Amino acid sequence: MEEWKEYNVSDAPLVALTDLVEFIVDNRGKTVPTAAKGIKLIATNCIKNEYLYPLYEKVRYVSEDIYNSWFRSHPKPGDIVFVNKGTPGKCALVPDPVDFCIAQDMMAFRLKSDLVYNTYLLAILRSREIQSFIMNNQVGTIIPHFKKEQLKTLMIPLPEMHIQKRIGDLYFNFSEKTEINRRINENLEQQAQALFKSWFVDFEHFKDGEFVESELGMIPKGWSVVELQDVVTIKRGGSPRPIQAYLSSYGYHWLKISDATACQSPYIYEIKEFIKESGLSKTVKLDAGSLVLSNSATPGIPKILGIDSCIHDGWLYFPQSHLSKYYLYLLFKEKRDFLLSQGNGSVFTNLKTDIVKAMKIAIPNDQIMVKFNSIIESLFNQIENKTKESRRLAELRDALLPKLMSGDLNINYKIES
């Protein structure tokens, strides 16, 4: 005989987080000496709620000696890494195998009870309600901090295990697909960057031809050395001031440097702030598909706009160009270390527009550029499609979760007897 039962997650009892997990602190809570190579040390910037696992973003390393002497416990597969200082509430699942240790300002949660399912717990920790609780209870204005004592007040709704598994598996499957897309995009971008380097930096693609001396060294015969401004129009964005008077909860998207640093894809869709229509005359509004380059705070970051947006004067844009946006994107990625070395400023690094304009490059004839662009455009189209797919999946996942937790969306399951 079969019976269908309807269950609302909002009916579930609340259980203290401390009754479900133990806290794993991977080091002494102090700044760890780093090394040029060794074991990966992930920091808070590697943990993002948009991704299932930690990212190896600007990853550092610790030597085996430091690892053995400083680290008293280590994350295991299935643990949840949790940031408690800087960006409190960010969390990610520990993969299998584990090839990293965690820096200060974070810890790992390890299940000490079979009452909770780990991916369900991850989903709940990332839910709007729990994230709001963490934000409202953090201390410190310059460096926010969610203290360990406050974790004891964190209550987790705990439905029956098969309900947890339904929610946890749903969350995991959506997140895993976006994770796969991220890795595919990372590989595609690496392919594109390698092709660019082979063609325009090392000239390996043309090694069988004749080379001539130039101010950039030996280059293929027939190529020209030009300043970037000779083939690209380079302009700065603009900012209405005081900017606080023009910010709004709706209106025109307002691209900030932090939007770019939080984005892994070449295509940027997540732009958090808006400005009013009255600010348009003092800024620059760009269409989706436009290339921009940061020139302040964190300079040298190229992005392709996925949506229309206004840009402030910390961005450069390129209204006219004889070079494709894909070529320019890869050029700026290749030259980022050079651009950073040319920046100035004691607190924030700023990159003068004239430095970008005067940057010298070697360019071939149009026939070679057309061939290169056709190859690269295909790779970028694949990246864009995967980025859009991941965005749709994440939106669906994040829309389902609060409905499941609030009881607005019922979970039906079958009980066999």
Q: At what angle do helices 325-334 and 366-406 cross, to 10 degrees?
A: 80
Closest CA to 5 of 156, 163, 169: 163
Give the C-alpha separation, 316 to 236, whole Å. 4
Sign of CA dihedral 227, 377, 269, 144: negative
Band (274; pLDDT cuts 50, 70, 90): very high
For 340-394, what is each residue's pLDDT tens digit?
787 665 445 678 889 999 999 999 999 999 999 999 999 999 999 999 999 999 8
Burial (CB count <10 Å: 0-12, 13-18, 19+), residue 196: buried
Mean pLDDT of 1-29: 70
pLDDT of residue 347: 46
pLDDT reading at 413 higher than 60: no
Token look-up 């409202």 returns 136
pLDDT reading at 414 higher than 80: no
Range of weakest confidence among 28-42, 151-165, 288-302: 28-42
For 166-189, what is each residue's pLDDT tens digit?
889 989 999 999 999 999 999 999
Tokens for 119, please give them. Answer: 């991916």
Give the C-alpha separation, 116 to 293, whole Å. 45
Q: What percent of the chain has pLDDT over 70?
A: 91
Domains in the chain, please, with CATH? 13-160 (3.90.220.20), 224-363 (3.90.220.20)
Mean pLDDT of 227-246: 95
For 281-296, what is each residue's pLDDT tens digit?
999 999 999 999 999 8
Q: Which amino acid is located at 75 in the chain?
A: P
Grouping H, G, I as helix, E, B as strand and the rest as coil, residue 273 is strand
Q: Tell me how far apart the terminal alpha carbons of the chain are, to the nearest angstrom.
A: 6
Band (66; pLDDT cuts 50, 70, 90): confident
Torsion of CA 118, 120, 121, 125, to 10 degrees: 140
What is the full DSSP assignment across 163-197?
HHHHHHHHHHHHHHHHHHHHHHHHHHHHHHHHHHH
The number of helices, as runs of H, and strands, as runs of E, in the chain is: 11, 27
Band (29; pLDDT cuts 50, 70, 90): low
pLDDT of residue 26: 64
Band (8; pLDDT cuts 50, 70, 90): low
Model-level pTM?
0.85
- Partners of residue 227 on adjacent β-strands: 360
Give the C-alpha separation, 46 to 229, whole Å. 36
Q: β-strand 155-157 against 14-16: which pairing, if any?
A: antiparallel
For 86-119, what is each residue's pLDDT tens digit?
889 999 999 999 888 888 888 999 999 889 999 9
Mean pLDDT of 248-262: 93
Give the C-alpha separation, 142 to 11, whole Å. 38
pLDDT of residue 298: 84
Sign of CA dihedral 133, 139, 143, 148: negative
